[in-house]
A and B are shown apart, each in its own frame.
Chain A
């Protein structure tokens, strides 16, 4: 089945130790998103790629970076995780020309910072 796959599902890191989260998709969608979601809160958009065009949300901390080496893969790098970065990180994809622009989400990567 075509899908969005995130790895790892669970990541434990120490304060300040860099982390990379990955996302791959077999849907051939041209838009990829990274969201941060904390418990009982709305998903917060960090970045999105429209094809190769990178879009950084104005309030995304500099501590977060992203790479999209090709259509299928996207990475989220957290350079120096703090306790406040503990959250679920959701990757999503969509087809921008599909009208409704429905997002398909991966299962998420839950980050714990010790």
Chain B
């Protein structure tokens, strides 16, 4: 079956760095997405990886290893506004998104 695994909850300190991991199993693979979702709001797109390696976008970076079925989202210089859920989603061979349940990130001062 198709599956996404990511931690349920993580806690980090303002100004620090946090890495949110995601492992996936899909029928075929057409890319890995990260979305940010604040409580009670819609998900917003953060990143897309389809090739192995690290993609950097300001304070946020995303990494992909296709051979390991593994991705992570790296958040640097954490700010209180980064408190949110981070959803990992993999696109299968039919271009359908398989979603994880999200990692709730709690930032403490």
Contacts and interface: CB of A to CB of B under 8 A. Distances in A.
Q: Do A and B form a real pair?
A: yes
**Taking chain B's interface residues, is the majority helix, strand, or loop, or is none over half, making it mixed?**
loop
Interface string B66-90: 0000000000000000000101000
Interface stretch (B12-20, B35-43, B57-65): B35-43
Contacts, number: 45
A42 B101 contact: yes
B104 A107 contact: no
A113 interface: no
A67 B52 CA distance: 39
A27 interface: no
A40 B100 CA distance: 10
B106 to A, nearest CB: 13
Nearest to A106: B42
Given A40-B85, A45-B97, A100-B48, 6 more contacts: A42-B101, A42-B102, A100-B31, A101-B31, A108-B42, A110-B40
Interface of B: 4, 8, 30-31, 33, 40-45, 48, 50, 85, 87, 91, 95-97, 99-102, 104
Interface of A: 40-43, 45, 88, 90, 96, 100-108, 110
